[in-house]
Amino acid sequence: MGSMRTVLFSDFDGTITEQETFSLLMKEFAPEASRRIVPLLLSGEMTLKAGVPAILETIPSDRFPEMIERMRTMALRPGFPEFLDFLQDFSVPLVVLSGSLEELVMARLSPYKAKISRMVAARADLSGPFLRIVSDSAGGDELVYKAGVMKEYGEVRKIAVGDSVTDLTMAREADLVFARSLLARRMKEEGRSFIAFESFFEISNYLESTWKLEPSSE
């Protein structure tokens, strides 16, 4: 690779996992609040920063262990373990940016923790009868302001990987974007360039062919 340091930022739900696991869990554990609030989130009448806690905070704290166990069974997108090895080979750190909860993300990613540079998400406070959501990285309309976290890294080459409109601020901040599903659609609408993907094998192949062609920093 060239002389500029590269950092790769990836969403979790629907990106690292095959399904939108967080949405599934909210519908399973907070069905009534999800039915009422999710349409408001999709229409833009309620922000993610307000809407996600409004759903999660209807869930009793003593049910959170069930949510964690449920998350452990969620399928990862093909090629993710190999992708982690690939990034290590090229000394590129992976930062996972998730609008979900840290405890849920790590329940699924704990086997790979040593290969992940940083993970940013909201957290669950279980001290009361119902979940309370805490986020140190909230900003704008987001529970986790992904573009804000990316800016902390300064002058680096930023690569973003995502799947949803919730990844749009992250994609706008990146130098190179891998997108699928709703994010790909929005990128097209905005006339922004991106690389389509369905598996991490495709991302690895694209980056490897690109990086091997670049002049070395030595």
Q: What is the mean pLDDT of the chain?
A: 94
- Per-residue pLDDT tens digits for 160-204: 999 998 899 999 999 999 999 999 999 999 999 999 999 999 999
- Per-residue pLDDT tens digits for 45-69: 999 899 999 999 999 999 999 999 9
Q: Which two tokens stand for residue 47?
A: 């922000």
Distance of CA 131 to the CA centre of its chain: 21
Mean pLDDT of the 144-158 span: 96
Q: Which residues contact 105 (CB under 8 A, 6 or more apart)?
A: 12, 71, 96, 98, 119, 121
- What does DSSP assign to residue 56? H
Report pLDDT for 87.
Answer: 97
CATH of range 6-213; options 3.10.310.50, 3.40.50.1000, 3.80.30.20, 1.10.1060.10: 3.40.50.1000
Residue type, 49: K
Q: How far apart are CA 46 and CA 39, in angstroms?
A: 9
Q: How far apart are CA 70 and CA 67, in angstroms?
A: 5
217 band by pLDDT with thresholds 50, 70 and 90? very low
Mean pLDDT of the 89-108 span: 96
Q: How far apart are CA 11 and CA 120, in angstroms?
A: 10
Crossing angle of the two packed helices 102-109 and 64-72, in degrees rounded to 10:
30
Query: Please, are residues 115 and 94 in contact by the beta-carbon 8 Å criterion?
Result: yes
